[in-house]
Amino acid sequence: MLPILAPIAFTLSLAVIEDSAAQDRYAAERAQMAREIAGMAAMTAAETGRPAFAASVMAAMAKVPRHRFVLPAWERDAYQNRPLPIGEGQTISQPYIVALMTDLIDPKPGHTVLEIGTGSGYQAAVLAELVAAVYTIEIVAPLGRRAAETLRALGYRNLQTRVGDGYNGWPEKAPFDAIIVTAAAPFVPQPLVEQLKPGGKLVIPVGDRLDVQQLMVIEKAADGSIKSRRTIPVRFVPLTREAPAK
Ligand code: SAH
CATH number, domain with residue 45: 3.40.50.150
In a domain, 40, yes or no: yes
In a domain, 25, yes or no: yes
Q: How many residues does the chain have?
A: 246
State pTM to two decimals: 0.91
Q: What is the pLDDT of residue 1?
A: 46
Q: What is the pLDDT of residue 211?
A: 82
Q: What is the pLDDT of residue 209?
A: 72
Question: What average pLDDT values come out for the chain (246 residues) when binned by 10 residues?
Answer: 53 57 82 96 97 98 96 95 93 96 98 98 98 98 98 97 97 98 96 98 91 96 96 95 60
Q: Which structural domain, as residue segments, surrounds residue 50? A: 15-234
CA distance 197 to 109: 16
Among the listed residues 20, 93, 120, 228, the single catalytic one is 93
In a domain, 102, yes or no: yes
Q: What DSSP letter does each residue of 203-239 carry, written as one string? A: EEEE-SSSS-EEEEEEEE-TTS-EEEEEEEEE---B-
Number of domains in the chain: 1
Q: What is the pLDDT of residue 244?
A: 47
In a domain, 150, yes or no: yes
In a domain, 240, yes or no: no
Helix (H, G, I), strand (E, B) or coil at 185: strand
In a domain, 166, yes or no: yes
Mutate to test the pocket of ligand 1, among 68, 187, 239 (most ligand atoms within 8 A of CB): 239
- Closest ligand 1 atom number to CA of residue 143: 13
In a domain, 116, yes or no: yes
In a domain, 121, yes or no: yes
